[in-house]
């Protein structure tokens, strides 16, 4: 049986992920130490910081969904979007494995199984802000660049991995009460 060991010492089989596997400390640590854009940005910027921004940008009643929208990446890693469509683990498309884990996490928190539109919108705005500030190129990113032109984008503050981990955990505790 394949498994990974988490920060808190749990032994997790991502293919058979269950509610008992979820641990906010594991998710916060992993996402805080996982860089966006496969680490190709002008400075370190974590998935945890991205998730915090999404949580703050989406509708208030979807804030927990926004915070946890990339939580599955704590167990399978962050794979660049263009690769996800053609990438698989042990014969299972990565997007399917990611969706399985995410659905367990959302069910555990009594949240809808599918991503609310406000979270998708906030995720796109966050990505546009991140692309504008962190990715120094003139390549056309399509919808992301269109969002960057249409919206007053949030500022990206510098945040250490440790701060991102702390703020992610703090936000979770505020929202999951």
Tens digit of pLDDT for each residue in 97-135? 999 999 999 999 999 999 999 999 999 999 999 988 898
Distance CA 54, CA 69 (A): 9
Q: Is the pLDDT of residue 147 over 80?
A: no
Distance CA 146, CA 176 (A): 33
Give the whole-number percent of the chain exceeding pLDDT 90. 66
Q: How far apart are the first and last CA of the chain?
A: 35
In the CATH scheme, what architecture does the domain 22-176 have?
A: Orthogonal Bundle (1.10)
Sorted by where each begins, the domain ranges of the chain are: 22-176
Q: Is the pLDDT of residue 92 over 90?
A: no
Q: How far is CA 144 from CA 26, 33, 51, 157, in A?
A: 30, 24, 17, 20
pTM recorded for the entire structure: 0.93
pLDDT in tens, 63-85: 999 999 999 999 999 888 777 77
Structure tokens at 152: 């007053």
> Which residues, other chains included, contact 32 with Cβ-Cβ below 8 Å and sequence gap of 6+?
46, 47, 48, 49, 161, 162, 164, 165, 168
Residue 143: predicted pLDDT = 82
């Amino acid at each position: 049986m394949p498994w990974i060991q988490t920060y808190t010492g749990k032994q997790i089989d991502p293919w058979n992920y269950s509610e008992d596997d979820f641990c906010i400390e594991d998710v916060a640590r992993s996402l805080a130490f996982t860089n966006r854009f496969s680490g190709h940005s002008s400075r370190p910027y974590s998935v945890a910081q991205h998730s915090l921004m999404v949580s703050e940008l989406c509708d208030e009643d979807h804030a927990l969904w926004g915070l946890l929208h990339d939580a599955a990446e704590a167990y399978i890693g962050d794979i660049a979007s263009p690769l996800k469509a053609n990438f698989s683990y042990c014969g299972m498309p990565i997007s399917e494995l990611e969706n399985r884990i995410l659905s367990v996490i959302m069910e555990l928190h009594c949240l809808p199984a599918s991503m609310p539109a406000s979270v998708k919108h906030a995720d796109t705005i966050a990505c546009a802000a991140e692309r504008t500030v962190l990715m120094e190129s003139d390549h056309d990113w399509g919808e992301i660049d269109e969002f960057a032109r249409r919206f007053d984008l949030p500022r990206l503050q510098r945040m250490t991995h440790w701060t991102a981990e702390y703020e992610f955990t703090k936000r979770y505790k505020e929202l999951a009460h």
